[in-house]
Amino acid sequence: MERNQNGSMYLKTLGLDPENQEAPIAFVESEKRMDGLFYRRNHFPYPEVDSDLLDIGGLTERNLRLTVAELKELPARTVTVVLKCAGNKRSLFSKKTFGEQWGKGALSLGTWTGVPLRSLLEKAGLKDGVQEIVFNGHDEGMQPGFDKTECYGRSLPLEKAIHPDTIVAYAYNGERIPECHGAPLRLIVPGWYAMASVKWLRTIQASADHFEGPFQTDDYVYYPHEDSDEDAEPVRQLRVNSTIQQPLDMAKAEKGEQIVKGIAWTGIGHIEKVEVSVDSGCTWEAAELEDGETEGVDYGWVPWSFKWHAEKAGIYKIFSRAKDSEGRVQPGEACWNRKGYGYNAIDRVKLKVLK
Residues at the site binding a second copy, with contacts judged by CB under 8 A:
1-19, 21, 24, 26-27, 36, 45-46, 96-101, 144-145, 178-180, 248-254, 350, 352, 354
CB of 180 to a second copy, least distance (A): 5
Query: Considering beta carbons, is residue 248 or 259 the nearer one to a second copy?
Result: 248
The candidate with the shortest Cα–Cα distance to 272, out of 296, 236, 308, is 296
Query: Considering beta carbons, is residue 26 or 334 the nearer one to a second copy?
Result: 26
Compute the Cα dihedral for 90, 213, 37, 174 and give only its sign. Answer: negative
CB of 130 to a second copy, least distance (A): 35
Backbone phi, psi, residue 141, to 5°: 165, -170
Query: Considering beta carbons, is residue 10 or 259 the nearer one to a second copy?
Result: 10
Extract long-range pairs of 142-146: CB within 8 Å, 24+ residues apart.
Answer: 143/43, 143/44, 143/214, 145/218, 146/214
The candidate with the shortest Cα–Cα distance to 127, out of 227, 60, 206, is 60
Query: Considering beta carbons, is residue 4 or 128 the nearer one to a second copy?
Result: 4
End-to-end, the C-alpha distance of the chain in Å comes to 39
Query: Considering beta carbons, is residue 53 or 142 the nearer one to a second copy?
Result: 142
CB of 162 to a second copy, least distance (A): 32
Query: Considering beta carbons, is residue 97 or 155 the nearer one to a second copy?
Result: 97
The candidate with the shortest Cα–Cα distance to 269, out of 321, 327, 347, is 327
CB of 144 to a second copy, least distance (A): 5
Query: Considering beta carbons, is residue 7 or 296 the nearer one to a second copy?
Result: 7
CB of 240 to a second copy, least distance (A): 26
CB of 105 to a second copy, least distance (A): 9
CB of 236 to a second copy, least distance (A): 24
DSSP letter string over 205-248?
EEESS----HHHHTSSEE--SSS--TT-EE--BPPPEEEEEESP
The candidate with the shortest Cα–Cα distance to 237, out of 274, 267, 270, 258, is 267
What is the tally of helices (H) and strands (E) in the chain? 4, 24
Give Cα separations from 34 to 85, 107, 309, 338 (angstroms).
Answer: 16, 10, 32, 31
